[in-house]
Amino acid sequence: MTTADIFFYLFAFLTLLCGLLVVANPLSRNPVTSAMFLVLTIVSMAGLFVQLHAFFLASVQIVVYAGAVMVLFLFVIMLLNVREEERRRVKVLSAGLGIVSVGAIALIAVKAVFEAHPSSGLETPVLEGTTVNLGRLLFTQYLLPFELVSLVLLVAMIGVILLSKKDLR
Amino acid sequence: MIHVGLEHYLTVSILLFCLGLLGTITRRSLLVIYMSLELMLNAANLALVSFSRFNKSLDGQVMVFFIVTVAAAEVAVGLALIVALYRKRQTAHVEDLTTMKL
């Protein structure tokens, strides 16, 4: 077992543990706690991205998700009433049924992945200078999608401004 | 212990996706449901990055780049919708939101 493997298991464990605590935290049902654990999930996932040599995406993950998106989330949670959730009871039947069905889906998918042996013909490759190549790819082959995504951002911006107008019909 | 390969990353991705799915169908607070959706998007990102790494192609990473951008836009619009809904109905709880008409 190499150091990379140890780091993989560490970050995978952290990602899954914090992901579980986002969804089902036994100690607290406050959305703020969920948001904090989502930040931890995202940061440990950035660790997994570093393991996969996607350095640029790891930094984007931290800056955009853990930075911008989660601040937006916390801002809205503070704006709304967060005490609401804690007063409601958990429905045991629906939670149990959800766990059973989702667990079945997870079992089938994991079994399918392990029986397919997806990495049998692949050796661990060495991608050098991925950020440079990623930038080159973005501005040559994927130039049109790149420009269209800016349009998506513009539409989202206009939509948010319209939605937050006072007299929403 | 076997060497970490593509299937290990895919397993983490699947499990994370299923956690997000579980949160989406069992939690009752709109905000937590929204966070679970983010979890599912992140799981898809992890799968794409690991495919990109093990197939020696950067296309998957470009895809993730676009997904992150669209997810940021989606969060902004979705949270604006939740705030607008809260202003109208004073709740962000799915059990209180059972009618289509505001």
| Contact assignment for B50 to A52 by CB distance below 8 Å | yes
Q: Under the phi-then-psi rule, with left for phi > 0, alpha for psi from -120 to 50, and beta for the rest, what region is A127?
A: beta
Asked if the model's pLDDT at residue A15 lies above 80, the reply is yes
Q: pLDDT tens across B36-94, in order?
A: 999 999 999 999 999 888 888 888 899 999 999 999 999 999 999 988 888 888 878 88
Query: How long is chain B?
Result: 102
> Phi and psi (nearest 5°) for B91?
-150, 150
**Chain A 75-134, residues with CB within 8 Å of chain B CB atoms:** 76-77, 79-81, 84-85, 88, 94-95, 98-99, 102-103, 105-106, 109-110, 113-114, 116-119, 122, 124-125, 127, 130, 133-134
**What pLDDT score does A29 carry?**
80
**Chain B 17-36, residues with CB within 8 Å of chain A CB atoms:** 18-23, 25-29, 31-32, 34-36
| Contact assignment for A163 to B81 by CB distance below 8 Å | yes
Q: Is the dihedral of CA B11, B13, B16, B22 positive or negative?
A: negative
CA closest to A95 among chain B residues = B26
H helix intervals, chain A: 3-23, 31-51, 55-60, 70-79, 92-116, 130-139, 143-163
Share of chain A above pLDDT 90, in %: 49
> Could you tell me if A39 and A67 are in contact, meaning their C-beta atoms sit under 8 angstroms apart?
no
- pTM of this structure: 0.90
**What pLDDT score does B57 carry?**
83
Nearest residue, CB atoms, A80 vs list B28, B36, B92: B92
Q: Which domains does chain B have, with CATH numbers?
A: 6-96 (1.10.287.3510)
| Contact assignment for B15 to A106 by CB distance below 8 Å | yes
Task: Give the whole-angstrom CA distance, residue B52 versus residue B54.
Answer: 6
When pLDDT is cut at 50, 70 and 90, the band that residue A126 belongs to is low
B40–chain A Cβ distance below 8 A for any pair: no
**What pLDDT score does B67 carry?**
93
ipTM reported for the complex, 2 dp: 0.90
Question: Which residues on chain A are in Cβ contact (under 8 Å) with B57?
Answer: none
Q: For chain A, what are the domain ranges?
A: 1-86, 131-169
Q: Which CATH class is domain A1-86?
A: mainly alpha
> Could you tell me if B63 and B26 are in contact, meaning their C-beta atoms sit under 8 angstroms apart?
no
Share of chain A above pLDDT 70, in %: 87
DSSP SS3 for A54: coil
